[in-house]
């Protein structure tokens, strides 16, 4: 008995040893961690920390939350991602688009600045984290593929415009309302005469400085002899100079007394332990927003992670990324944060600065903890206009109207999806924009797949290849019609296939054999099977035999389990060339198409 128990215990440990690294990537990369990697990670962490302090404050402001929540959302989430994530360079924390979506989601159910508003943000992070973890455990990362890249581009471009417009109130020192472009512009127009001149001067000055730092500072540093990589990183940390400069101005000139909005006193210390709400009513109000934020956050994060991983020939596991991001959001919910994801700009900085493992993120969290302990008294004098200028410059890279030209030239359907998503996002807000983008993408896919490309094919002379008769000079036969179906067959396109077959056979009275070339057919569902049976019966009445060629193994397995093959008037051929040879009954390499 004891021996059996020992064997069971040993077997259990072995099983856990095999499974654990899949869900805890830290167990894999930590084995090869050494002093060289530590040095690279520490240097990257130092640079990212300097960049992240103003960014995290700015994105909390964008979400309508207290500034310190931006720093809180950048500590434990990064550590948890380092444990559960698979990217060595992805920097997790607040980002512009998710912060805007957070503001839009919780602004509908609570007043900004209220305790309920903060609790709603914590709850939104919790729900997003839970959804992401469930999707990861169930290995459902593929669901994010329902958002096409053009639609995402349109949504992010519109979001960038909304974000920049929403920050004009802080730059000019006025009050505005609304979460869509018409409301924001109308509110801004009504209140612009109340602008605070000191705030406007400070905000516009910071904006000009940051724009120059992004475009003009790097060339200047290169002319001074700084290497390209170092110059690029220094240019990206330009917001730090704006923060320090405007803090000094606000303090020495007492700008707070002149009506300039300042960040104000920030609690000094590490993130507090917080609890999201477990109210069913609040969950019901937030769940739709949580789903959208989870999907958008995951798509943005996985795109950045895979792009950077490809440069180092590393592999990213999308399902494990869901778990890593889910854990990060859960951590934010319990430490005073709000929804987070992988950020593009700081991930690129992290990569360029030499980060070689997820430990760089943990060191970044340590740097932010030190900042929260010792630097918060100075942040009290930071003008909100500076943070708004930081946000505007950061989102300028998100706005990309070239996607409209590209999609118009390549695919009118994709252009329709991009333009509609962009327009609805601007007019009705980010959530409706995402919903519209998903629905339009699905409708376009269903429309295209419901009308699959079906080509009449003939033999390329002196080869075994068969190509579209409209594109190539090929050989055909008077009594044999070959149709190539370039799509899996399912309920949405089964009737279309019936119509094409009926039309083509009716136009060719001499046809005795119809061969469906199925090399591109990966699946045949029940509706399509019934359509094939109907085609077989109709062709029998017309004294035309139906044949199939190059049917894939899994499809053939399905058909073998039915009586369709027994009822089939013709045969199933291994190759299309074999079918033509047998059915034509004549040498066909010398008979050209008229």
SS3 label, residue 546: strand
Q: Given this model, what pLDDT does residue 591 score?
A: 39
Segment holding 280, helix H or strand E: helix 280-311
Q: Given this model, what pLDDT does residue 588 score?
A: 43
Q: Given this model, what pLDDT does residue 391 score?
A: 85
Q: Given this model, what pLDDT does residue 594 score?
A: 36
Alpha helix (H) ranges present in 375-411? 376-379, 384-396, 402-410
Q: Given this model, what pLDDT does residue 554 score?
A: 93
Strand ranges, E, within 72-156 = 91-93
Between CA 442 and CA 450 the distance in angstroms is: 12
SS3 label, residue 337: coil
CA 208 centroid distance within chain: 31
Between CA 54 and CA 61 the distance in angstroms is: 11
Do 514 and 505 contact (CB within 8 A), yes or no?
A: yes
Q: Given this model, what pLDDT does residue 347 score?
A: 83
Q: Cβ of 173: how many Cβ atoms within 10 Å? A: 23
Q: Which residue has tokens 């077989």? A: 536
Between CA 502 and CA 491 the distance in angstroms is: 18
Please report, in tens digits, the pLDDT of each residue of the chain (594 residues total). Answer: 555 555 554 554 454 445 556 667 788 777 888 888 888 888 888 888 887 888 888 899 889 999 899 999 999 999 999 999 888 888 899 998 899 899 989 988 988 888 999 999 999 999 999 999 999 998 887 776 666 777 888 888 888 899 889 889 889 888 888 778 898 889 888 888 888 899 999 999 989 888 887 777 777 777 777 777 677 766 666 777 888 888 899 999 988 888 888 888 888 888 999 999 999 999 999 999 999 899 888 888 887 888 788 777 777 888 899 999 999 999 999 999 999 998 877 787 778 777 888 888 889 999 999 988 888 888 888 898 988 888 888 888 778 888 899 989 998 888 888 898 899 989 988 878 878 887 887 888 888 888 899 999 999 998 999 999 999 999 999 999 999 999 999 999 999 999 999 999 999 999 999 999 999 999 999 999 999 999 999 999 999 999 999 999 999 999 998 999 999 999 999 999 999 999 987 554 433 333
Do 296 and 98 contact (CB within 8 A), yes or no?
A: yes
Strands 341-343 and 480-485: unpaired
Q: Given this model, what pLDDT does residue 303 score?
A: 79
Q: What is the DSSP letter of 487?
A: S
| pTM, to two decimals | 0.77
Do 533 and 562 contact (CB within 8 A), yes or no?
A: no
Q: In what order do the strands lie in the sheet with 572-573?
A: 466-468, 454-459, 480-485, 513-517, 545-549, 572-573
Q: Given this model, what pLDDT does residue 467 score?
A: 94
- Beta-carbon contacts of 151 under 8 Å, excluding residues fewer than 6 positions away, are 417, 418, 421, 437, 438, 440, 441
| Tokens coding 386 | 């500076």
Q: What structural domains and CATH numbers belong to the chain? A: 32-441 (no CATH), 454-584 (3.30.750.24)
Do 582 and 573 contact (CB within 8 A), yes or no?
A: yes
Do 72 and 339 contact (CB within 8 A), yes or no?
A: no
């Amino acid at each position: 008995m004891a021996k059996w128990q020992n064997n069971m215990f040993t077997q259990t440990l072995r099983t856990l040893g095999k499974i654990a690294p899949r869900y805890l990537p830290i167990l894999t990369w930590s084995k090869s961690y050494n002093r060289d990697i530590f040095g690279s990670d520490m240097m990257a962490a130092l640079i990212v920390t300097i960049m992240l302090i103003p960014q995290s404050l700015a994105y909390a402001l964008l979400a309508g939350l207290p500034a310190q929540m931006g720093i809180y959302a950048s500590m434990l989430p990064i550590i948890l991602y380092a444990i559960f994530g698979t990217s060595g360079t992805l920097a997790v924390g607040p980002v512009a688009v998710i912060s805007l979506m957070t503001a839009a989601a919780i602004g509908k159910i609570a007043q900004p600045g209220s305790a309920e508003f903060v609790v709603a943000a914590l709850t939104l992070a919790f729900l997003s984290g839970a959804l992401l973890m469930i999707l990861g455990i169930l290995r459902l990362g593929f669901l994010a593929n329902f958002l096409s890249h053009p639609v995402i581009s349109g949504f992010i471009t519109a979001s960038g415009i909304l974000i920049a417009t929403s920050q004009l109130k802080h730059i000019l020192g006025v009050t505005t309302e609304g979460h869509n472009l018409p409301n924001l512009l109308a509110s801004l127009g009504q209140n612009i005469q109340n602008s605070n001149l000191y705030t406007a001067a400070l905000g516009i000055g910071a904006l000009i400085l940051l724009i120059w730092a992004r475009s003009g500072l790097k060339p200047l540093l290169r002319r001074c002899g700084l290497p390209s990589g170092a110059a690029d990183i220094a240019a990206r940390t330009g917001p730090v100079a704006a923060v320090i400069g405007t803090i000094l101005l606000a303090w020495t000139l007492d700008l707070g007394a002149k009506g300039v909005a300042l960040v104000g006193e920030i609690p000094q210390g590490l993130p507090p332990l917080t609890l999201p709400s477990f109210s069913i009513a609040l969950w019901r109000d937030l769940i739709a927003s949580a789903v959208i934020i989870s999907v958008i956050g995951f798509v943005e994060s996985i795109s950045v992670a895979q792009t950077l991983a490809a440069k180092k020939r590393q592999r990213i596991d999308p399902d494990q990324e869901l778990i890593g991001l889910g854990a990060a959001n859960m951590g934010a919910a319990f430490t005073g944060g709000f929804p987070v994801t992988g950020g593009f700009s700081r991930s690129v900085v992290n990569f360029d600065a030499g980060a070689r493992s997820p430990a760089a993120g943990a060191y970044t969290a340590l740097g932010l903890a030190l900042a929260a302990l010792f630097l918060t008294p100075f942040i009290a004098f930071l003008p909100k206009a500076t943070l708004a200028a930081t946000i505007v410059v950061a989102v300028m890279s998100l706005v990309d109207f070239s996607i409209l030209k590209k999609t118009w030239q390549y695919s009118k359907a994709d252009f329709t999806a991009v333009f509609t998503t962009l327009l609805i996002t601007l007019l009705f807000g980010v959530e409706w924009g995402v919903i519209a983008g998903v629905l339009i993408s699905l409708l376009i896919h269903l429309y295209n797949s419901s009308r699959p490309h079906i080509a009449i094919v003939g033999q390329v002379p002196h080869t075994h290849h068969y190509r579209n008769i409209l594109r190539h000079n090929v050989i055909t036969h008077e009594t044999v019609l070959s149709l190539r179906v370039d799509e899996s067959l399912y309920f949405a396109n089964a009737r279309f296939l019936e119509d094409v077959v009926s039309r083509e056979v009716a136009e060719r009275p001499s046809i005795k054999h119809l061969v469906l070339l199925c090399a591109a057919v990966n699946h045949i569902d029940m509706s399509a099977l019934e359509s094939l049976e109907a085609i077989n019966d109709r062709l029998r009445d017309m004294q035309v035999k139906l044949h199939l060629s190059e049917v894939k193994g899994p499809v053939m397995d399905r058909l073998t389990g039915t009586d369709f093959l027994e009822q089939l008037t013709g045969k199933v051929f291994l190759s299309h060339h074999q079918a033509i040879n047998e059915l034509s009954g004549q040498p066909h390499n010398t008979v050209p198409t008229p």
